[in-house]
Amino acid sequence: MTQTRVYLDAGGRAPVHPAAREALLTALEDGWADPRRLHSEGRRARHLLDGSRAEIAGILGCRVEELHLTPGHTASLHAAVQAVAAGRRRVGSSVVTSAVERAAVLTAARHVDRDAVAVPVDRDARVDLEAWAGAVGAPGVALAALQHANGEVGTRQPLRDAHELCRAAGVPLLVDAGASVGHDDVGADWDLLAADPGDWGAPAGVGVLAVRSRVRTRQPGPEDEDPWAPGGVGVPQAVAAAAALRAVTAERGRSAARRHGLVARLRSSLSAVPDVQVLGDPQDRLPHVLTFSCLYVDGESLVDALDRAGFAVGSGSACTSSALEPSHVLAAMGALTHGNIRIALPREVTDAEVDRFAAAVGPAVAAVRAMLGAEGL
């Protein structure tokens, strides 16, 4: 009997949560109108939109007026960097990031500051706090950006310490929690926070950006009623995002513990494959993310081999993998940048599916090495 395919590439685009699907269909009936209109249909859409913002704000721990919906996660990150840089231009124009931030953060930082500082990380992708302190304490820093946890290898960052250093220097901290919200407790150590509904099982088309009222911002673009999302966002997508976040938050503890165990099981089995290195902190990490690198293997070929075996996985940089470019995250860690496989376990994954994948990796790696003439090296 043919076995079903197993989807293990849920980072940034998880399977749509049943709660999100139900909410989306309901909102398509009740919230299709323009929420800026004054008629009954428009007011009903506005009510749904406002309710969604309030629910997401409550879960993230901010005030409703601090919660903004954007066209998507990349848009949130770009808008945050540009708005703070513009709002604090009298302080300076420097931007500090870690070397393993999402590509959207790094490109936005370089857009406003050609000499943006990328603070180095250790072998697990954790930022060097001593170097971070020196970077954010330098004169003229407008903004610092540090992810909650790395979306490729799962390592959590020392956010509390990093935020304290930023506060001492008077520098706002943007936290990219796109890989964390819905899976892990993000906490309150941030001044701006971007979250990705697609990562927690909402349909594409909306992003989340929280900006503390104490942060000075100025929109660099043309004036609009909603400066964070010119023209507004889709009400059904916003309703679905809130419904999915409510559902995954309620089940987060149980789901995280189960997937944490599955990743630990995978780390153990993959470490037994010859010339395979499992990356990231084995304990202080996200519950569902894992990356491993294989010597003498081409990443694209290994993705194809695993795809033919029935497993959907990622490779290259998590945010530029459409081009299968070498991962800047792995390069910053000093790890092998080729032959890497990245997985993000969806909530629905079963123990049997994970075991099937673990059993398939060794033969797939061996087959690719044989194809490339790299056997016995």
Dist CA 186 CA 179 (whole Å):
10
Cα distances (angstroms) measured from residue 37 to each of 40, 43, 44, 83, 332: 8, 7, 10, 28, 49
Here the tokens at position 172 are: 């706002």
Q: Burial, 185: exposed, middle or buried (Cβ in 10 Å; 0-12, 13-18, 19+)?
A: exposed
Cα distances (angstroms) measured from residue 313 to each of 41, 94, 323: 43, 37, 15
Q: What is the CA radius of gyration of the chain?
A: 21
SS3 content of the chain, % helix, strand, coil (to 5): 40, 15, 45
What is the β-pairing status of strands 6-7 and 94-98?
Answer: unpaired
Dist CA 24 CA 238 (whole Å):
9
Q: Is the Cα dihedral 112, 74, 319, 351 positive or negative?
A: positive
Dist CA 217 CA 27 (whole Å):
32
Provide φ and ψ at 291, rounded to 5°.
-130, 140
- DSSP 8-state secondary structure symbol assigned to residue 285: B
Q: Which of 197, 199, 177 is nearest to 188 (CA)?
A: 177
Provide φ and ψ at 60, rounded to 5°.
-80, -15
Q: Which of 51, 63, 56 is nearest to 211 (CA)?
A: 63
* Residue 161 CA from chain centroid, whole number: 21
What residue has token string 């911002």?
Answer: 217
**Residue positions annotated with a catalytic role:** 319
